[in-house]
C-alpha cells in the first residue's frame, strides 16, 4: 500500500517552524532577592529558590509556558525579584 503525500506533513512543519524561544528580557534583581531572603523563613527561601530555578530553566516565549512556569514568573515579579 502506498503512502499518502500528507504522511510527512507533520515532520515537515516541525522542521520549518522552529520552537519559539524565550527572549531574555527578564532579569533577576539580586539586591532585592538578597533583602527578601534575609527576612524570609526557611520554607520561603526554599520556595523562592524553586521558583528561580523554574524561571531560569524556561526556554520558551511566555505564551507557551506551562501554568507552573507562569505562576513562578508572576510570583517573582510580584516580589520585584524578577523584572
Q: Where in the sequence is the domain holding 58, given as residue range(s)? A: 20-78
User: Is 83 inside a domain boundary?
Assistant: no
* Phi/psi at 22 (5° precision): -70, 130
pLDDT recorded at residue 24: 46
* Phi/psi at 62 (5° precision): -60, -35
User: Is 35 inside a domain boundary?
Assistant: yes
The total of structural domains in the chain comes to 1
User: Is 13 inside a domain boundary?
Assistant: no
User: Is 30 inside a domain boundary?
Assistant: yes
- On the question of pLDDT at 13 being above 70, the answer is no
pLDDT recorded at residue 10: 54
Q: Are 38 and 81 in contact (CB under 8 A)?
A: no
User: Is 51 inside a domain boundary?
Assistant: yes
pLDDT recorded at residue 44: 95
- On the question of pLDDT at 81 being above 50, the answer is yes
pTM strictly above 0.75: no
User: Is 69 inside a domain boundary?
Assistant: yes
Q: In whole angstroms, how far apart are CA 5 and each of 2, 12, 17, 25, 82?
A: 9, 12, 19, 42, 48
User: Is 44 inside a domain boundary?
Assistant: yes
Taking only the tens place, the pLDDT of each residue in 32-75 is 999 999 999 999 999 999 999 998 888 888 788 899 999 999 99
User: Is 6 inside a domain boundary?
Assistant: no
Amino acid at each position: 500500500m502506498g503512502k499518502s503525500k500528507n504522511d510527512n506533513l507533520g515532520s515537515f512543519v516541525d522542521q520549518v517552524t522552529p520552537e519559539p524561544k524565550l527572549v531574555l528580557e527578564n532579569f533577576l534583581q539580586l539586591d532585592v532577592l538578597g533583602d527578601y531572603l534575609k527576612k524570609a523563613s526557611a520554607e520561603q527561601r526554599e520556595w523562592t529558590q524553586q521558583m528561580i530555578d523554574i524561571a531560569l530553566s524556561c526556554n520558551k516565549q511566555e505564551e507557551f509556558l506551562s501554568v507552573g512556569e507562569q505562576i513562578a514568573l508572576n510570583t517573582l515579579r510580584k516580589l520585584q525579584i524578577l523584572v
